[in-house]
DNA sequence: CAAGGATTGTTATATAATTAACACAGTTGC
DNA sequence: GCAACTGTGTTAATTATATAACAATCCTTG
């Protein structure tokens, strides 16, 4: 598949940031940008930008730079943001609910098709258009629907059980907010662990040692 | 200050994870652990663990390994988790509220002393024990209280204004959930940017290119 | 439409991070 | 209390990442 054999994670994790800044430039009706100017805005280096982009192809033009809209579309395609993925939320507490309300899943390709919780008080209430289902319905739902991504917002005690079950249904893509490293359990899954506590601790270190 | 001159960010970002796993081992009443065993549990390498820890001092003992509780305490100290920091939340929407409810600020050293929002409907309502204040009270509050950390959960349009104001009060530590790179504006601040959209996009890339 | 300037794609260099190697200190068991 | 083993701290080698350099290419302008 073209050039992108084994792109390093360092590069991949920078792509969303490029996309973000390109969207802003586009909103400001900037038509073209050079790697040097973009580097200045993003506090990066021209070298890095050019090298990152060239992992995927030559999107620029000598003597001109990059077309903002063109590059934006290319990165969107690279990131796979034109695809759609059926997504469910497990753990529909205030945190899970806030997560799905706060971000643009739709825009980024995720279709939220169901929410689950084990709290009887929450079951039956709504998150947006969706009615929260009981955890006991999870098996049935997964066997009848093509679930591609799971957002996990549950306490770490419950993770292993739920995880094994989902894995059994062939679900391997997780956006994980629970305080548990999913990758420690399976290694053929795609997992984004968002460890907010880790982030707070890192902040603490940096403040304390500033 | 001892050994820790210019520890690399890579090392620092691993510390919370060590701490997390050590807490679990401690909960399981494990008394001692070798770098090799810990590496196996954490899916890391013994070399990396030993080298990371030795940035801060020799906490282990030849032929024995590391005392779980001892090492846990050391890392806690290194991370600065014994310190206390006065913290305020700006943007007390469902997301901001969920963030402060979901995590153990207390345990990690952060004392939440006030919440602000510009939505008149939210002002006066409560988050835990705290009553949400109007943004207009921010100046007054900052001048009368020692605010050390700010959690930002506001739309990116409002960030620059609020940020300049806070910076004016000498506040330089931010936990930032807004879709804006604070480091692009000032460079003498300590910022943890949590870009959840970026995380979602990275996940999308990895699913799409698996 | 040619000459000069700009800016890329790419290769080469320098820096950073990870892994491996190993000497030596401390533990354990007989 | 000695021999064999375990496992650290540390230095060395390897790999990965970021920066710099530059020739090739395309735009721009008079």
pLDDT digit string, tens, across residues A53-76 = 999 999 999 999 999 999 999 999
**Contact criterion met (CB < 8 Å) for A203 and B173:** yes
Residues in contact with B119: Cβ distance below 8 Å, sequence separation at least 6, in sequence order: B93
The CA-based dihedral angle spanning residues A179, A84, A81, A193, taken in that order and rounded to the nearest 10 degrees: 10
Average of per-residue pLDDT values in chain A: 94
Query: How would residue B93 be classed by pLDDT, with cut points 50, 70 and 90?
Result: very high
DSSP label of B132:
P
What's the confidence (pLDDT) of residue A1?
36
Residue B129: name the closest of B113, B150, B107, B151 by CA: B113
What's the confidence (pLDDT) of residue A187?
81
Phi, psi of A181 (to 5 degrees): -85, 100
Pairing of strands B173-176, A110-117: unpaired
Within 7 Å of a protein beta carbon, the nucleotides of strand D are 5-11, 16-21, 24-28
A168: left (phi over 0), alpha (psi -120 to 50) or beta: alpha
Distance of B164 CA from C14 C1′ (whole Å) = 38
Residue B3 has pLDDT above 80, yes or no: no
Residue B81: name the closest of B72, B89, B93 by CA: B72
Q: Which chain B residue is nearest to residue A187, measuring alpha carbons?
A: B43
In whole angstroms, what is the distance from residue A25 CA to residue A40 CA? 13
pLDDT per residue as tens digits for the range A148-157? 999 999 999 9
Average pLDDT over residues A68-97: 96
Q: How many CB pairs under 8 A join A and B?
A: 185
What's the confidence (pLDDT) of residue A5?
63
Average pLDDT over residues B123-141: 95
Residues of A in contact with B102 (CB under 8 A): 93-95, 196
Task: Please state, in angstroms and as integers, the Cα–Cα distance from residue A164 to each residue in A102, A151, A169, A171, A172, following that order.
Answer: 28, 15, 9, 10, 10
Residue B138 has pLDDT above 80, yes or no: yes
Task: Please state, in angstroms and as integers, the Cα–Cα distance from residue A132 to each residue in A68, A127, A135, following that order.
Answer: 41, 7, 9
What's the confidence (pLDDT) of residue B102?
86
Residues in contact with A178: Cβ distance below 8 Å, sequence separation at least 6, in sequence order: A91, A152, A153, A154, A155, A156, A158, A159
Residue B167 has pLDDT above 50, yes or no: yes
Q: Is A62 on the interface with B (CB under 8 A)?
A: no
Provide the 10 A C-beta neighbour count for residue B8.
10
pLDDT per residue as tens digits for the range A190-204? 999 999 999 999 999
pLDDT per residue as tens digits for the range A130-179? 999 999 999 999 999 999 999 999 999 999 999 999 999 999 999 999 99
Average pLDDT over residues B144-150: 97
Q: Is A189 on the interface with B (CB under 8 A)?
A: no
Residues of A in contact with B98 (CB under 8 A): 94-95, 97-99
Distance of B48 CA from C18 C1′ (whole Å) = 7
């Amino acid at each position: 598949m073209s050039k992108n054999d084994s792109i390093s994670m360092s590069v991949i994790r920078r792509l969303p940031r490029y996309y973000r800044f390109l969207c802003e430039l586009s909103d400001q009706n900037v038509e073209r940008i050079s790697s040097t100017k973009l580097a200045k805005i993003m506090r990066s280096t021209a070298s890095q930008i050019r090298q990152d982009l060239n992992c995927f192809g030559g999107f620029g033009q000598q003597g001109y730079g990059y077309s903002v809209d063109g590059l934006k579309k290319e990165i969107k395609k690279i990131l796979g943001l034109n695809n759609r993925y059926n997504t469910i939320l497990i753990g529909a507490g205030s945190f899970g609910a806030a997560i799905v309300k706060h971000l643009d899943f739709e825009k980024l390709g995720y279709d939220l098709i169901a929410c689950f919780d084990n709290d009887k008080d929450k079951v039956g209430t709504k998150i947006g258009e969706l009615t929260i289902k009981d955890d006991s319905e999870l098996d049935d739902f997964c066997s009848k629907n093509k679930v591609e991504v799971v957002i996990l917002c549950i306490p770490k005690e419950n993770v292993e059980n739920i995880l094994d079950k989902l894995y059994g249904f062939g679900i391997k893509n997780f956006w994980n907010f629970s305080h548990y490293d999913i990758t420690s359990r399976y290694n053929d899954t795609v997992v984004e662990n968002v460890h907010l506590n880790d982030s707070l601790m890192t902040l603490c270190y940096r403040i304390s040692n500033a």
